């Protein structure tokens, strides 16, 4: 079964629901174009290509996207730490990310705003979460994040995500029937049993 996704998107008090990954990308592009320093959280299980959705959406919205590296937190299995904290303290790391002088390992340049992409934000350690909070509070850069599910990061950022800057896209894996329907649309005929 393919890793295509169907989103459920909500922005502020006006929830929006989509029926395909392209609709999620459109909602993301529109949000990044209309909102100064947007805060976007894309949640979904492994295989739903959350980071790719954010990268494509931000690029199409003409944003300069900086991918912020994380590393495994020492001695803490399944916990991530912002790589920039290997050399800097919390306040200096936040300042560099806000100023765009962190020198991330990968950038996708556009002509618009500066956005930071943080993958697996739900796994960040406390120092990294403090940096994230400071960056969001600055209102100067957009923050795009992925998480495996609506867990602690969604609760921590609930106020921002439910405000005008926020967008929360929840992706789910396609059911077998949705997969067959999608294949039939792509092939313009019903898929064989083996292909389905």
Count CB neighbours of 191 within 10 A.
Answer: 15
| Domain range annotation of the chain | 5-187
Q: How confident is the model at residue 188 (pLDDT cuts 50, 70, 90)?
A: confident
Model confidence at 78, pLDDT cuts 50, 70, 90, reads confident
Does the domain at 5-187 match CATH 3.40.50.300? Answer given as: yes
> Which pLDDT value is given to residue 64?
87
The 10 Å Cβ neighbour count of residue 79 is: 16
**pTM, full prediction:** 0.74
Does the pLDDT at position 80 exceed 90?
A: yes
Read off the pLDDT of residues 48-73 as tens digits, 9 standing for 90 and up.
677 788 888 788 777 888 999 999 98
Contact 13, 178 (CB under 8 A): no
Q: Specify the residue for token string 């077998």.
A: 176
Residues 59 and 94: their CA atoms lie apart, in Å, by 23
Chain segment 127-176, per-residue pLDDT in tens = 999 999 999 999 999 999 988 876 788 889 999 999 999 999 887 766 67
Query: Considering the chain, what is the average pLDDT of its residues?
Result: 79
pLDDT score recorded for residue 150: 66
Do residues 65 and 118 lie in contact, with contact meaning Cβ atoms separated by under 8 Å? no
Of 98, 108, 106, 121, nearest to 42 by C-alpha is 121
DSSP string over 50-110: HHHHHHHHHHHTT-EEEEPPEEEPTT-TT-EEEGGGGTS-HHHHHHHHHHT-S--SEEE--
């Amino acid at each position: 079964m393919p890793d295509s996704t169907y989103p459920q998107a909500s922005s502020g008090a006006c929830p929006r629901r989509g029926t395909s990954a392209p609709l999620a990308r459109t909602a993301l592009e529109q949000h990044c174009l209309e909102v100064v320093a947007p805060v976007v959280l894309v949640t979904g299980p492994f295989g739903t290509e959350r980071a790719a959705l954010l990268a494509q959406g931000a690029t199409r919205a003409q944003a300069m996207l900086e991918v912020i590296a994380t590393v495994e937190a020492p001695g803490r299995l399944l916990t991530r730490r912002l790589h920039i904290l290997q050399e800097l303290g919390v306040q200096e790391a936040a300042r560099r990310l806000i100023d765009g002088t962190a020198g991330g390992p990968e950038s996708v340049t556009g002509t618009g705003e500066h956005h930071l992409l943080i993958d697996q934000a739900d796994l960040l350690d406390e120092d990294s979460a403090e940096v994230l909070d400071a960056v969001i509070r600055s209102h100067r850069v957009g923050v795009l994040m992925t998480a495996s599910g609506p867990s602690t990061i969604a609760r921590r950022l609930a106020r921002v995500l439910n405000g005008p800057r926020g967008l929360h896209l929840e992706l789910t894996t396609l059911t077998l029937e949705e997969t067959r329907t999608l294949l039939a649309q792509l092939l313009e005929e019903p898929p064989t049993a083996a292909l389905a």
